[in-house]
Every structure is written in structure tokens, then in C-alpha cells.
Amino acid sequence: MLSKKQARAFFLGGTLVTFLIFIGLTIFSLSKDVDQTNHENITEAVVRGKNLWDSNNCMGCHTILGEGGYYAPELTKVIDRRGKGYIKAVLMSPVAWEPNGRKMVAYGFSEEEALDIIEFFDWIDDIDLNGFDTVVSPLAKDNN
């Protein structure tokens, strides 16, 4: 059993060690050597693609980097799985696309808009995910 003085010393010492570890890990996380964001490759086309992604609420159905809805396929590595031509055709389609009973709105994007979204997907695909594969929802698995 610890005395009051020993318990206080143990608590304060443990708190100090934990605080120093936290500060060290924070500094390490913010260093340029471990930056995995791919921010240096952001172009105007990537920004326009992200704006189209947001303004059309694509995240309401799709997931990207594990965030979003689980109604439709995860799109983090969609270019590797489907290819740019397939994605462009789906985005520019004038009719609703209905794979396996799930319906995607026919946005009818222009060629420039479709290419901007593809550039956004391409930029996302180049982010270092530490070897983690994308998580595909069970509902969307058959569409990938």
C-alpha cells in the first residue's frame, strides 16, 4: 500500500511522463517527414472536383476515405478498380444509372466537370493510407 506522499509522487510522475509522451507524439505527427496528406499535388481541377463532390452531396450515398454514406460503393480507390473511362461514362450519363437495384441520379455532368471529379478521385487515390485497404460496405460490395 502506498502512503499519501508516495501516491501523490506516483500520480504527479505518471502525469508528467504521459504529458511529455503526448507532446513528443504531437510534434512527431506534425513534422514534415510523416506528412501523408498529398497536399502538394492539389491542383485547380482537384479543387473543382471536390467542390462538385460537395455541392452534389455525393457523400450522402458514397464513402470516400471511410467517410460518408453506405448506400453506394466506396470510392477511395475507384480509379484502380474501374478506370477513368468507366467513371467518366457514369458521371456524364444522361440517364439514371441503376446497378443491382440501387439508383444513382443522372447528373449529366459536362466532360470538364467529369474530368475534374476524376482528378479529385485520382488525388485521393495517391494519399498514403499506411497500407490500409479501403473498407467496402456490405451493401455496396457487389458494385465494386
Same domain, 53 and 117: yes
Same domain, 27 and 56: no
The CATH number covering residue 49 comes to 1.10.760.10
Q: Which helix (H) or strand (E) holds 64?
A: strand 63-64
Same domain, 49 and 78: yes
Residue 140 DSSP SS3: coil
Same domain, 29 and 7: yes
Same domain, 73 and 57: yes
Same domain, 26 and 49: no
Q: In terms of residue numbers, what domain contains 3?
A: 1-35
Q: What is the pLDDT of residues 14-47, one digit of tens each?
A: 999 999 999 999 988 887 776 667 778 889 999 9
- pTM of the predicted protein model: 0.70
Residue 97 DSSP SS3: strand
DSSP letter (8 states) at residue 76: T
What pLDDT score does 132 carry? 65
Same domain, 20 and 3: yes
Same domain, 24 and 58: no
Which among 52, 49, 67, 69 has a CA at the least distance from the CA of 107?
A: 52
Same domain, 71 and 88: yes
CA angle 113, 129, 44 (to 5 degrees): 25
Which among 116, 125, 122 has a CA at the least distance from the CA of 44?
A: 116
| Residue 84 binned pLDDT confidence (cut-offs 50, 70, 90) | very high
Query: CB of 91 within 8 A of CB of 117?
Result: yes
Number of folded domains that form the chain: 2
| Residue 141 binned pLDDT confidence (cut-offs 50, 70, 90) | very low
pLDDT for residue 9 is more than 50 = yes
| Residue 56 binned pLDDT confidence (cut-offs 50, 70, 90) | very high
DSSP letter (8 states) at residue 73: -
Same domain, 133 and 90: yes
pLDDT for residue 92 is more than 60 = yes
Q: Which helix (H) or strand (E) holds 63?
A: strand 63-64
The average pLDDT across 109-134 equals 85
